[in-house]
Amino acid sequence: MVNEVYETETFSKIHVTCEKTEQDWIEKMKDQIVEDLSVGKPLRFDFFREKKFRGKRLFYLVNHSSKKAILLAFGSKKEQQKIIEHILENKERYMQLIN
């Protein structure tokens, strides 16, 4: 099953500033998400997920009915709570992007 993976403009800016190993890992995660929207650990909700890489986390939302995902953030454990709160506060806007 092939899914579509998008990213926010903010995520794209973060992605290009990452180290090469992080960029390569993110690309591998995109490929995994294209194959399976259920990859990663759910955070409070099935549609809100994360994948860990060393001390950082990739945060994204999935929509199983439209078969789409959107990458939202990549940050450290220290930034995790702030990122999660921001995503949950704006989840409706993000979900509209992948409906």
CATH code for position 80: 3.30.2310.20
Q: Give residue-wise pLDDT tens across range 15-55.
A: 999 999 999 999 999 999 999 999 999 999 999 999 999 99
Instruction: Report the number of distinct structural domains present in the chain.
Output: 1
The domain containing residue 60 runs over which residues?
4-97
Q: What is the pLDDT of residue 32?
A: 97
Burial of 92 (0-12, 13-18, 19+ CB in 10 A): exposed
Spatial separation of the C-alpha atoms in residues 4 and 21, rounded to whole Å: 23
pTM of this structure: 0.95
CB 45 within 8 A of CB 15: no
Q: What is the pLDDT of residue 1?
A: 65
Q: What is the pLDDT of residue 85?
A: 97
Spatial separation of the C-alpha atoms in residues 50 and 73, rounded to whole Å: 9
DSSP assignment, residue 49? E
Q: What is the pLDDT of residue 81?
A: 96
